[in-house]
Amino acid sequence: MPNQPLPNPAEQLGAIVSQLYELAGNSAVPGGQRQALFLKAHNRRGDLNELVAMQFTNETAAYQSVMASLDKVTAALNQAEQSIQNVTDVVNGAGQLAAAIDNLLQERSEEH
């Protein structure tokens, strides 16, 4: 009886490549990091092309290592995207605070 095919890591890697490109294009990420993310995305896209054509039937240590690494990178990317959103929220909140303070100061100066 032949071994059943295992999930191909290409699907998860495709999502990672997409997230890397998204982060590389995010202006909230410092320029040097954006460039590094772009290069990582480009290189992993090459890996993706190779994995798509493969079929995995043996859960070897190398396969398990790739799957574990994919899970770790996916979690790290999700956390990084959340952190960027948190920073963006803080910046937006600080801008709203500045506008509110300006309004308050203007109101006070009009009273006097």
Q: Can you give the pLDDT at residue 1? A: 46
What's the average model confidence in pLDDT over 65-92? 87
Q: Can you give the pLDDT at residue 22? A: 92
Number of C-alpha atoms within 13 angstroms, CB side, residue 19? 18
Indicate the average pLDDT of the chain.
87
State the DSSP code for 108: H
Q: How far apart are the first and last CA of the chain?
A: 90
Q: Can you give the pLDDT at residue 35? A: 93
% of the chain beyond a pLDDT of 90: 46
Contact of 9 with 68, CB cutoff 8 Å: no
